[in-house]
Structure 1
Amino acid sequence: MLRNIPVNMQGYKLMITEAPQEKTREKDGVQEFVKDREGVQQFVVSLFAKRRVQPGEFAGKGEEIKVTLTADPGEGFEEGVYVQLIDATVSHWENDNGSGLAFKANGLTPANAHIPAAA
């Protein structure tokens, strides 16, 4: 299965619909914090993604996506703020309940900020 495929979201406007928070999951009826293999706390943010259009083009519908963040994005990322994802990737998942895409990024930056190229 293909995992962590780099994805270019520059052609989309991304607006925060739920501010970043610590990622949790339910295990044996108890909520627990989600950490990566190195024990680092993961975060999650909900974004509304809508394609950027040129004059005369039809934008179509947007879609809400949840993005796992590999680190705390810091202050200033509240509902309604437009952002860009840093080093975004996507992975396909599948289980008995269905399948889909899982988005992940190393962080957020305000939409008008310059993102340096990945090393």
Structure 2
Amino acid sequence: MLRNIPANMGGFKLLVTEAPAMKMRENGEGVTEPVTDRQGVHQFVVSLFAKRRVQPGEFAGKGDEIKVTLTADPGEGFEEGTYVELVNATVSHWETQNGDRYRSGLSFRADGLTPLG
């Protein structure tokens, strides 16, 4: 399976739709807990609206909301409505099958966010 492929998101405008927050999950006992990496560092998540940048006369299309896992606390200044760039963005393909239910998709990850002027 392809993992951690460098992703050049420079061709997209990225708008924060949900400010960064600590990434949480429910453990096997139903308790919500923070997500950490293998070294025990807390992970964060941000929701972004991604829309292709266009040249004059081009059609931009719709755009999509993506959730990006951040490998560190991005700090302050990334409220809803802020345009950002991703630092060292990667994308990974995932898939799962539970009985006859099959799901697949892409997961986005970055080392951080940079605000755009």
Give runs of ≥4 in structure 1 deviating > 4 Å: none
Distance 2:38 2:45 in 1: 17
Partner of 2:87: 86
CA positional deviation for 1:111: 2.1
CA positional deviation for 1:30: 1.1
Distance 1:33 1:89 in 2: 22
Partner of 2:2: 2
| CA offset digits 1:24-67 (Å, max 9, x no partner) | 01112111100000000000000000000000000000000000
CA positional deviation for 1:5: 0.2
Partner of 1:116: none
Partner of 1:56: 57
Distance 1:58 1:102 in 2: 26
Match of 1:102 among 85, 88, 107: 107
Distance 1:107 1:58 in 2: 30
Distance 1:4 1:38 in 2: 17
Task: Give the partner amino acid of 1:40.
Answer: V
Q: How does 1:6-85 map to 2 (within 5 A)?
A: 6-27=6-27, 28-85=29-86
Matched residue SS, 2:65: strand
Structure 1 unaligned segments of length 5 or more: list them. Answer: 113-119
Structure 2 unaligned segments of length 5 or more: list them. Answer: none
Distance 2:33 2:115 in 1: 29
**How many residues were matched structurally?**
112
State the Cα RMSD in Å: 0.8
